Amino acid sequence: MTTAVHNHHDKLIGRWLTVCAVTIFGMILLGGVTRLTESGLSMVDWRPIMGAMPPLSTEDWVYLFDQYKLYPEYQLVNQGMTLPEFKKIFWFEYLHRMLGRLIGLMFFVPLVVFLWMGKVRASLKPHMFALLFLGGCQGLMGWYMVQSGLVDRPDVSQYRLTAHLGLAIAIYAYIVWLIIGLFSPERQQRDGALNSVFGIIGLVYLMILSGGFVAGTNAGLSFPTWPLMGDSFVPPALYRDGVTSAFEQVTTIHFNHRMLAYLTGAVLITAAVRGLLTTTDRRLKLASVLMLTAVCFQIVLGISTVLTHVDITIAAGHQSGAVVLLTAVLFWGHVYLTQSAD
């Protein structure tokens, strides 16, 4: 098979993966809105096949609402909720689950077709099977997360929520990295800088995971002030309960997220400015501009989320901004690690 045919197949695979990545981005955004609107526990069972059918009659709605009333969120938080109010939170969770099923079909069916047609080159096949496995794990992780809020507490575990978010982000990043490579056959791997680039990508990923703990504990509501947290930059009671405070105490979780954001912002801005000033590679300059723009917008969104006491629209934008920033960093990292074959 000629190089031209290989490149044509790669671009076809790249377009398909791009559609999947965009849909996953939408899934992450919808998942954030579902969390912000406290809608995630409105569906109290998991039926991968039959659960695809929405409630079609008043009797269906009453049954689902009665099931919801048996669990802690209704009994401890939403006691007295009306059926119309229940419908509002139900639809967010229902659409989130349906989009998950759609993504599974969007990936699995075309993959089988492309494999049958011989359009997936051998070196790409292990990546496709790995993504298929990770997608299945993500579905199980979603239900494992929901289960934690159906036992004795009216909220999901922040550990499971962060794991669910982290796996979604990892799948998205994996796909984006493959897409960039598939559309950049003219660039060749160069020596050096591998550890530093993946260190920067890892730092952004760690910051996103930190945001998962903020969301899972509602820590963003604890200090609606900036740049101070209350009356001081370093609030009292940090790590009051030892190491577990980093994952369970809202003050420490909020403080750590801010510090990680400051560190990440400084590292990315430095890397972007350095790329603009020291390289002659036009693509690296473009990647540096995109990364610099994304990190500046994300900083503004983060501050705005705090100052608006976690306004749903702005907070959803902040979560989406984190994914946009990761995308820009992945593009920058891939370009930084390669060079033009010209």
Residues 5 and 94 in one domain: yes
Q: Which of 185, 214, 249 is the last residue of a domain?
A: 185
Residues 237 and 170 in one domain: no
User: Using CA atoms, how far apart are residues 167 and 169, in angstroms rounded to an integer?
Assistant: 5
Q: What is the torsion angle, in degrees rounded to the nearest 10, for the CA atoms of residue 173, residue 178, residue 183 and residue 189?
A: 110
Q: Which of 145, 162, 185 is the last residue of a domain?
A: 185
The Cα-based distances of 89 to 68, 86, 119 in angstroms read 11, 6, 42
How many structural domains compose the chain? 2
Residues 174 and 194 in one domain: no
For residue 147, the enclosing domain spans 1-185
- pTM (predicted TM-score): 0.93
CB neighbours (10 Å) of residue 307? 13
What is the DSSP code (8-state) at residue 53? S
* Host H or E run for residue 161: helix 158-182
Residues 148 and 231 in one domain: no
Residues 134 and 250 in one domain: no
* Host H or E run for residue 340: strand 338-340
User: Using CA atoms, how far apart are residues 32 and 39, in angstroms rounded to an integer?
Assistant: 10
Residues 176 and 148 in one domain: yes
Residues 245 and 297 in one domain: yes
Residues 231 and 125 in one domain: no
Exposure string of 182-201, with b = 16+ CB inside 10 Å and e = fewer, is: bbbeebeeeeeeeeebeebb
* 251-254 own/partner pairs: CB under 8 Å, 24+ apart: 251/219, 251/222, 251/223, 253/210, 253/213, 253/214, 253/217, 253/219, 254/214, 254/219, 254/220, 254/222, 254/223, 254/229
Q: Which of 129, 162, 185 is the last residue of a domain?
A: 185
User: Using CA atoms, how far apart are residues 27 and 93, in angstroms rounded to an integer?
Assistant: 11
Residues 4 and 145 in one domain: yes
Residues 197 and 248 in one domain: yes
pLDDT in tens, the chain (342 residues): 566 666 778 888 999 999 999 999 999 999 988 888 888 888 878 776 656 788 888 988 999 889 888 888 888 888 888 999 999 989 988 999 899 999 999 999 999 999 998 888 888 999 999 999 999 999 888 888 888 877 777 788 889 999 999 999 999 999 999 999 888 777 667 666 777 889 999 999 999 999 999 998 999 888 999 999 988 999 988 888 888 999 999 999 999 999 999 999 999 999 999 989 988 888 899 999 999 999 999 999 999 999 999 999 999 999 999 999 999 999 999 988 876 544
User: Using CA atoms, how far apart are residues 147 and 141, in angstroms rounded to an integer?
Assistant: 10
